[in-house]
Each structure stands twice: as structure tokens, then as C-alpha cells.
């Protein structure tokens, strides 16, 4: 056993506490109180109704990870802590607020149930699982939707930079939420048009298209999707088990002409090297849904069975990977 082995185990054993400190800092909005100069902890605590000593100990722990910096009698920003601000273009605050909700914290506490039964932990907490929980808890659902929108906005630029969308005249974003990725694609490809496809409630909330080359269409991707030259599925398939993921792909294939391109954008697991962030997301999917993060081989097999030929993987500067396939 190496000298590092006990340290690794201890770091993992205590890891919930730094994570919860980060969530609490995001929940109460500490980062928004700090600008260019350090702010004393008493002032931070007073602004948020917190206990100064307790807040100081939480922030002191975060500084050990490079989140915030303690100097000149107060706490100042680092590059990492600035991402906690609401006004940061890649803000992580909505995601951290989501991770601090009971749907996550309680599901983690029930992970042993999932390991022993194979059933999502959240189904013990709520009939209907994750989607049932969000229907029953509208305030939490709003936080969930905000987090998904924020994550799409953060991941989108890396996808647009990594992949050449110029060959496509019509691009359909299937399950595209509020359309941050598709708008970014259309801004980068002046000759392309796009159709944003999602559930009726999502599309109705958007109202009217806010981009001259963007169309909105409501529907169910288990039944039908609009025709296009290229189809984008970002953060979609990993929410579903293989049977339902196959149904989604089959729906897209019925709409796609031979040669049409399909892009699956997710935390696709490399077949041969470790990927801690993607593997963590895989366990989150295990606890919250019946979905999973898939390896390149697993995803390729699903695509092949649905009538697509896997043609390659494109890396991005972020955590997402782009699996490309063609309709055959």
C-alpha cells in the first residue's frame, strides 16, 4: 500500500463536507457580495443573516480548495469562486443549488438501497421518481430547470467551438430546453436554420422565437421529431435506460433521411481511461433516474441498432464529448 492510499480514502470519506460547504455558499449567495476587494466575514454574515464564526469556518475550508482567498482581513475572489456569482457567464450557482436540494441529498443517503436493489433511490422518496418529484415540488422544479439551462449555457460554447456545423442547412435540437446551444450554433453558422423541439410546456414558456432563423416545435421525442439535416441530442439519452434511449433514437431515425447526421453530446465514458467527473455523473444517474452515462462502445451499439453508423468522437474543451453518427 502506498503512502497516498490512506489519504485518498480519507479525502473520499470526508468529501461530502466540502461539497456541502460549496452548496451552502451558493445557496446563500456569498459570492455576489464580493467584487474586486476583500470583504470581512462579519459583513458577509450580516448581509445574509448568518453566524459569522460558522460562515468563517465554511469559507476557510473552501479557500483550501482554491475557492475564495483569505487576505487583508476578509475574503476575496479567485477564478473558481467568481463562477459562483449569478452574473458570471458560466455561473455554477444554479447547479450547486440543485445539488443541495433534498432530491439529491436524500437520494445520496439512500444509495445503499440502489446498490442492493438496482432501483433509483429517489423512487423510495417519491412515486414516479425524479419526474414525479419535480411535478410535486414546483419550487424545486424551478431550481432544476434553472440549473439545466445554466449548464447548457456553460457547455454550449465548447461544443460550438469544437464541431463544424457549417455543412448543415437545417439543424434540429431535440430536447433542447430553452435553446442556448441551438442559438449558439445559428450565430456561428449564418446560413443555417434551426428548429428547437421539446415538450409543450417548455415550448409554451418560451413564447415566440427570439432568433430570426429559429423555429419552435412542441412534441414528444418518443413519438416524432421534425426532419432535419442534423440532429442534436445534448444531455438527453443519459436520462433513460437502454430501452427508452433506443426508442428515442428510433424516432429520430424515422425522421432522418439516409446520410443525415446525429450528434449525441454527453459525458460519454472513454472505453480505456478513467473519467472521474463522468463516472460521478453516472452514479448520479443511477440514484436519480434509470439512465446512465455510456461508454463509446455502449453508445455505438445503441446507435447501430437504431439504424445509425457511429463515425467518430469529437472532444471539447469542457466535459462534454460529441459522438457523431450517420443515418444508414
152 pLDDT band, cuts 50/70/90, is confident
- pLDDT value, residue 208: 85
In sequence order, what are the residues at sequence separation of 6 or more whose Cβ sits closer than 8 angstroms to the Cβ of residue 229? Answer: 167, 168, 169, 170, 171, 260, 261
Residue linked to cell 431535440: 174
What integer is the mean pLDDT of 66-90?
A: 96
Averaged pLDDT score across all residues of the chain: 94
Per the annotation, the verdict on 238 as an active-site residue is yes
126 pLDDT more than 60? yes
- pLDDT value, residue 242: 96
Domains in the chain, ordered, with CATH? 4-88 (1.10.10.10), 113-327 (3.40.50.150)
2 pLDDT more than 60? no
Q: Which of 77, 180, 235, 238 is catalytic?
A: 238
294 pLDDT more than 80? yes
79 pLDDT band, cuts 50/70/90, is very high
67 pLDDT band, cuts 50/70/90, is very high
Contact 251, 301 (CB under 8 A): no
- pLDDT value, residue 319: 85
pLDDT tens digits, 220-261:
999 999 999 999 999 999 999 999 999 999 999 999 999 999
What integer is the mean pLDDT of 173-181?
A: 93
The dihedral built from the CA positions of residue 249, 142, 129 and 117, taken in this order, carries a sign that is positive
Neighbours of 303 (CB within 10 A): 26
275 pLDDT band, cuts 50/70/90, is confident
Would you state the cell numbers that stand for residue 91, as one nine-digit string?
A: 455561473
128 pLDDT band, cuts 50/70/90, is confident
- pLDDT value, residue 270: 85
Amino acid at each position: 500500500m502506498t503512502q497516498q492510499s490512506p489519504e485518498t480514502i480519507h479525502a473520499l470519506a470526508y468529501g461530502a463536507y466540502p461539497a456541502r460547504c460549496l452548496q451552502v455558499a451558493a445557496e446563500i449567495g456569498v459570492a455576489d457580495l464580493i467584487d474586486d476587494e476583500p470583504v470581512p466575514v462579519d459583513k458577509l454574515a450580516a448581509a445574509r443573516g448568518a453566524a459569522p464564526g460558522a460562515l468563517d469556518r465554511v469559507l476557510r475550508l473552501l479557500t483550501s480548495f482554491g475557492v475564495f482567498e483569505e487576505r487583508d482581513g476578509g475574503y476575496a475572489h479567485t477564478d473558481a469562486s467568481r463562477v459562483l456569482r449569478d452574473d458570471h457567464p458560466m455561473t455554477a450557482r444554479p447547479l450547486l443549488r440543485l445539488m443541495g436540494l433534498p432530491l439529491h441529498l436524500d437520494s445520496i443517503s439512500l444509495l445503499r438501497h440502489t446498490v442492493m436493489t438496482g432501483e433509483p433511490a429517489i423512487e423510495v422518496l417519491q412515486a414516479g421518481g425524479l419526474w414525479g418529484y419535480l411535478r410535486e415540488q414546483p419550487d424545486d422544479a424551478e431550481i432544476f430547470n434553472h440549473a439545466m439551462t445554466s449548464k447548457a449555457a456553460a457547455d454550449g460554447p465548447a461544443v460550438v467551438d469544437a464541431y463544424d456545423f457549417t455543412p448543415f442547412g437545417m439543424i434540429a435540437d431535440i430536447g433542447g430546453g430553452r435553446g442556448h446551444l441551438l442559438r449558439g450554433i445559428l450565430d456561428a453558422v449564418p446560413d443555417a436554420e434551426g428548429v428547437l423541439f421539446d415538450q409543450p410546456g417548455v415550448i409554451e414558456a418560451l413564447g415566440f422565437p427570439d432568433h430570426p432563423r429559429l423555429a419552435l416545435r412542441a412534441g414528444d421525442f418518443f413519438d416524432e421529431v421534425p426532419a432535419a439535416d442534423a440532429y442534436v441530442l445534448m444531455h438527453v439519452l443519459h436520462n433513460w435506460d437502454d430501452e427508452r434511449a433506443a426508442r428515442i433514437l428510433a424516432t429520430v431515425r424515422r425522421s432522418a433521411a439516409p446520410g443525415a447526421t446525429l450528434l449525441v453530446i454527453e459525458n460519454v465514458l472513454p472505453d480505456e481511461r478513467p473519467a472521474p467527473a463522468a463516472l460521478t455523473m453516472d452514479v448520479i444517474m443511477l440514484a436519480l433516474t434509470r439512465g446512465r452515462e455510456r461508454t463509446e462502445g455502449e453508445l455505438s451499439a445503441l446507435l447501430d441498432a437504431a439504424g445509425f453508423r457511429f463515425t467518430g468522437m469529437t472532444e471539447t474543451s469542457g466535459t462534454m464529448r460529441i459522438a457523431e453518427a450517420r443515418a444508414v
